[in-house]
Amino acid sequence: MLKQLLKDHEIILASGSPRRQRFFQDLEIPVTIDVRSVEEVFPEHLKKEEITDFLSILKASVFKDLKENQILITSDTIVYNDGEAMGKPIDHEEAVKMLSALSGKDHEVITSVCFTTQTSQKVLNHVTKVYFSELSEGEIEYYVNNFKPFDKAGGYAIQEWIGLIGIKKIEGSYFNVVGLPTYEVYSIIKEMLNS
């Protein structure tokens, strides 16, 4: 649908996430993948979407060489639980700890997406509330052992086994929990190309 509008533009996706890359493929938006390393540290006083906004802008800051026809997309997702931002677990023990903390409660999955051109920058964020049932120790151990969710914020993926057996309901975008608020991203790209 956007292919005609994109003929004079290049979209650069600065994400190594296979899920985010797949979303662009499914949206039929061709992208160039360019992941540059940045230390993902944010000031401690930031809360909720302030954190993901900050990190998505930080990831864009290392791209000093954008051309006139390029749109850079950077993104960050956190799980926000009990006033704390959960990133990706570093090992088995941390993944188990994260899932135990989420068990039987609701939390927020927050994603920010930053759109950067040579002359402008726009950031959107989306919050989805996720309600987990009580998970047994055995269920948590089984999931972490078999699915190794170490590249996922909060130590889980909604589209995997744990989501099927443990998530009672969500409020907001399902796709946001997977890693990208696709409706908003598509709308903003369309708006940028039409302006």
pLDDT digits (tens, 9 = 90+) for 174-194: 999 999 999 999 999 999 988
Position 7 confidence tier, pLDDT thresholds 50, 70, 90: confident
Please state the φ and ψ torsions of residue 174, each to the nearest 5 degrees: -60, -45
- Does 23 score more than 80 pLDDT? yes
**pLDDT tens-digit readout, 79-136:** 999 999 998 999 999 999 999 999 999 999 999 999 999 999 999 999 999 999 999 9
pLDDT of residue 89: 96
| Paired tokens of 36 | 């540059």
pLDDT of residue 87: 86
What CATH number should be reported for the domain holding residue 108? 3.90.950.10
pLDDT of residue 5: 73
Position 6 confidence tier, pLDDT thresholds 50, 70, 90: confident
pLDDT of residue 8: 86
- Does 1 score more than 70 pLDDT? no
Task: Write down the catalytic residue from 34, 65, 76, 106.
Answer: 76
On whether the CB atoms of residues 34 and 13 are closer than 8 A, the answer is yes
Three-state SS at 185: helix
Position 72 confidence tier, pLDDT thresholds 50, 70, 90: very high
User: Structurally, how many domains does the chain consist of?
Assistant: 1
pLDDT of residue 130: 98
Q: Catalytic site residue 76? A: yes
Q: Which domain holds residue 130?
A: 5-194
Please state the φ and ψ torsions of residue 148, each to the nearest 5 degrees: 45, 70
Whole-structure pTM over 0.75, yes or no?
yes
On whether the CB atoms of residues 86 and 97 are closer than 8 A, the answer is no
CA dihedral in degrees (40, 124, 191, 185; nearest 10)? 70
